[in-house]
Structure 1
Amino acid sequence: MDPLLTPLDQVLERVDNRLLSPDADVRIWATGFPLLDDALGGGLRAGSLNLLAGSQGEGKTTFALQIARQCAKAGQPVVFFSYELEAEVLLQKMLAAECAEQDVETPASVYQVRAAFEGTDNGAGGLPERMARYEGGLDALAAVSEYADRMHIHRSTTTSTTLEVIHRTVKDVIAHHGQPPLVVVDYLQKVRPTVHMEEEQAVTHVTERLKDVAIEFACPVLSISASDRAGLEPGQRMRARNMKGSTALAYEADVVLILANKADIVARHHLMYSANNGEHFRDYSVLTVEKNRSGRTGAEVEFRKQFTHGRFQPEGTVVTEDLVDERVFVE
């Protein structure tokens, strides 16, 4: 019988065994953002393709890295295909974020952690000695060390990191850990098919193959997506149709999340009648759940930016102001 053909009695038995087993396979990966998890029905699901889009500089990599860090903390392996940043840069962000979570008055910033890594901090010794100079520094280093063996950073390039490489790497991580990982791709439009294709065709192909990876390995794939020019125009709220390359992005994805600077999408009357013309809105990003096959669509949650420490405050709040009014994506 075709291994892809599954009688429902086997599905019922599998679900029952999973629920009764103390070592049940993970089916939902919590993001560490409680209001987002609530909107998604618990978090990112096995077999799902999740897209995170937004304008340049809005913190997409920071947001994805924070989710990855949360999953690794929870005991789940992570493989992060980074087409943008070196592993050391991502680690610096993670250490600064962990410092900010130590409940100290003056946690180390990303800049200070970077200086420690590069030996330009006027300190001495190895990384522990240099991090010890900052409040919470050693605790942050210990926290990262607890899950560092589960966080795999793949230094990806457009010329060498093909879909085949992604597939093989995920398979290797599963073999190493004995369980499927969270797969992060930063970002989708950087992935190249093996054969030459026009941009729209290539994005369609990559999107479909990433969805196949999620299904085949029963893991969530979280991919960052670039926006096209229309999505970058001042005053225009980015939507799924503004993701660069293909309508397949919105169609194939199970979840579409859009990050936007609150000041750019809040209704004009809030800016006109707010103190300082709403400058405080720039401290927040609004995350819109534009598409969600497994839960609520249209949820709008704001998170305070702490980019100095490489993170967002995870305790967000539901947006109460009126935002630029446009229809969300509907299948």
Structure 2
Amino acid sequence: MNNTARASSINEAARSLLHIALHHATTRVVLLRVERDAFSDLAERTIFETARGFYKAEIDFTLRHIADELERLQEATPNADEHLMYSHALDVLVECYVSPPATYIETNKDVDALLAEIERLSPKSRSEPRLFRTSDIIGDVVAEAKAANQARQSGELRAPITGFKELDRAIGGTLPQIGPCMVLGNTGAGKTAFAMQIAASCGFPALYVTTEMAPAELFRRQMARVSDTFLGRLKSGEMTASDIEAIAKSTAKQMPQLAFVDSTTAFANPQFLRECAQAVKGNAKTLLLIVDSLHTWTRGGNTGISEYEALNQNLLALQRLCHGLECPALVVCEQSRAAIAGGGGVNSGAGSRSIEYGAEIVFDLQAAKETDANGEREVKVVIAKNRHGAAGVQIELSFNGALQRFKSKGEWGVYPQV
């Protein structure tokens, strides 16, 4: 069976189940709306209550059976789009159970019309081109404003944060809800430490895809940061195994939502990353995906095309991954030699202009050469591109390499003169 026929078959199975679910759920709600006082005779009222209770139990049983069948079909399919469709079908079923679409109850609208609307609004259709008129967009803008206001009033995070107050403020409060953010910087600027610290402090589950260092090495760096223990001491053998274990357990306890994908010896393809991300995300409303680094990841999966083509291909895959998962990504990138000599900047990513063009935000880490007596070195985080606020803002941090830790230096960044 080809992919088109298979998708049609899968879709038909879900449609048939939803047909049954919509009819049963609607009958259930209509039945519960009938007032028992409509029956003046006590015997009639008693018969109605008994019949209603029996029929409601039958409907509930049927709806639970349909939900089980949808879950079974969802688990059986290896295709990500089909998996997403079944997930949406289950969401629709839950909504129908609680309160079926009012338009169907009031106007007896055909179920096919309802299902067409469901499919139009489903996550699967968002990957397809659609025409929007300005009047179509107003509802989304208002809903977004309402959600943002409610989050601000409640203090609830809508998306992962960096953990640096002034940096978060400069980018609009949080990282973008969807899309890649690039981390640029010269060798030794602290790009990996910067990404790791954000991953551990972002307020949501985080999946760190490492292509250069083993997960144990990255975790050891977190142990140094959290415990104020020099990284060298954790590796030199001067500490006992029990001491190391105690620090490791304490560190893991502080970041229970952090997970790693080890892609140092094998390429982690986008589908595998999607599955891992969904597992790590669990019931959370979003997660943070980190790829360290884009260039090493690209080389690991290169099938013989040029690096330029491979980078563009993987950048597009990352964008689609972010949209499919509805999450942001933090992507560590290499700089070109010319950019290193010229001091970095928004266009300093090596190999492809798509690095900066496709990014929601570009963080350019510019590290000072001198280290003070405490082992601290100034690192300016220049927001070289920002679709969610002002670009050109500089946030001053200090970085301690021995502790693998960034700290805020000032209360606020420095804006460029206009």
Q: Rate the CA distance shift 1:48–1:160 in 2: closer, same or farther, 3 A.
A: closer
Choose from 254, 263, 266 the match for 1:156.
Answer: 263
Q: 1:316 to 1:165 in 2, by over 3 A?
A: farther
Question: In the aligned structure 1, how far is the partner of 2:185 from the partner of 2:241?
Answer: 40
Contact between 2:163 and 2:201, CA under 8 Å: does it hold in 1? Answer: yes
Q: After superposition, what is the alpha-carbon deviation per residue over 1:131-169, rounded to whole angstroms, capped at 9, x for unaligned? A: 4xxxxxxxx843531423x11111113742123322332
Hey, what's the Cα distance between the residues in 2 that align with 1:214 and 1:25?
21
The residue aligned with 1:314 is 408
Match of 2:408, SS state, is coil
Matched, 1:58 2:186: no
Matches within 5 A, 1:234-313: 236-263=342-369, 283-313=377-407
* Cα distance in 2 for residues equivalent to 1:31 and 1:124: 32
Check conservation: 1:286, 1:302, Cα contact below 8 A.
yes
Structure with greater Cα Rg: 2
Alpha-carbon separation, structure 1, partners of 2:264 and 2:169: 35
Deviation at 1:58, TM superposition (A): 0.9
For 2:288 and 2:408, how far apart are their aligned partners in 1? 19
Residue deviations 1:207-264, cap 9 Å, x none? 122112112211110000101111233xx2112222111011111101001011235x
Q: Determine the C-alpha separation between the residues in 1 that align with 2:329 and 2:215.
A: 19
Distance in 1 (CA, whole Å) between partners of 2:344 and 2:315 is 19
Q: Report the Cα distance in structure 2 between the residues aligned to 1:220 and 1:249, rounded to whole angstroms.
A: 15
* Counterpart selection for 2:242 from 97, 120, 125: 125
Contact kept? 2:206, 2:258, Cα under 8 Å? yes
Taking a change above 3 Å as real, the CA distance of residues 319 and 110 of structure 1, as seen in their structure-2 partners, is same
- Matches of 1:309 and 1:17 in 2, distance apart? 38
Shift of 1:202: 1.1
Aligned counterpart, 1:190 = 296
Counterpart check, 1:80 vs 2:208: yes
Return the structure number with greater relative CO, CA threshold 8 A, min gap 6. Answer: 1
Residue 202 of structure 1 is matched in structure 2 by: 310
Q: Tell me if 1:170 matches 2:257.
A: no
Cross-structure match for 1:329: none
Residue 70, structure 1, aligned to residue 187, structure 2: no
**What is the 5 A alignment of 1:32-47?**
32-47=163-178
CA contact (8 A) 1:301 1:317 kept: no
Q: Which moved more, 1:200-209 or 1:54-63?
A: 200-209
Question: What residue is the counterpart of 1:271 in the other structure?
Answer: none
Deviation of residue 84 (structure 1)? 1.3
Q: Any conservation in 1 of the 2:392–2:415 contact (CA below 8 Å)?
A: no
How many residue pairs align between the two structures? 282
Within 1, Cα distance between the matches of 2:254 and 2:239?
A: 28
- Kindly provide the CA deviation profile for residues 150-197 of structure 1, in whole angstroms up to 9, marking residues without a partner as x: 1111111374212332233223323x3443210000011122357432
Native 8 Å contact 1:54 1:260 kept in 2: yes
Matched to 1:29, the amino acid is P
8 Å Cα contact 1:60-1:259 kept in structure 2:
yes
SS in 2 for 1:191: helix
Residue in 1 that maps onto 2:333: 225
Aligned equivalent of 1:114: 235
Q: TM-score, normalised by structure 2?
A: 0.60
- Shift, 1:305, TM fit: 1.3
Q: Which amino acid aligns with 1:228?
A: S
Per the TM alignment, residue 125 of structure 1 is displaced from its structure 2 partner at its CA by 3.5
Residues of 2 paired with 1:286 and 1:213: CA distance? 30
Structure-2 change in CA distance of 1:241 and 1:38 (3 Å): same
CA contact (8 A) 1:82 1:185 kept: yes
Which runs of no fewer than 5 residues in structure 1 stay unpaired?
A: 101-107, 132-139, 264-277, 326-331
TM-score, normalised with respect to structure 1: 0.75
CA contact (8 A) 1:77 1:177 kept: no
Match of 1:28, SS? coil
Instruction: Give yes or no for contact 1:257–1:289 (8 Å, CA) kept in 2.
Output: yes
Question: What residue is the counterpart of 1:272 in the other structure?
Answer: none
- Provide the residue aligned with 1:105 in structure 2: none
Deviations 1:68-93 (A, max 9, x none): 1112xx3x100000011111111111
2:345–2:364 CA contact under 8 A, matched in 1: yes
Q: Provide the residue aligned with 1:90 in structure 2.
A: 218
**What's the counterpart of residue 180 of structure 1?**
286
Task: Identify the residue that residue 64 of structure 2 maps to in structure 1.
Answer: none
Stretch of structure 1 that moved more, 57-66 or 164-173: 164-173
Deviates more, 1:157-166 or 1:248-257: 157-166
Between 1:162-171 and 1:215-224, the stretch displaced more is 162-171
Question: Which amino acid in 1 is paired with 2:200?
Answer: R
Provide the C-alpha distance between the structure 1 equivalents of 2:172 and 2:415, rounded to a whole number of angstroms.
Answer: 24
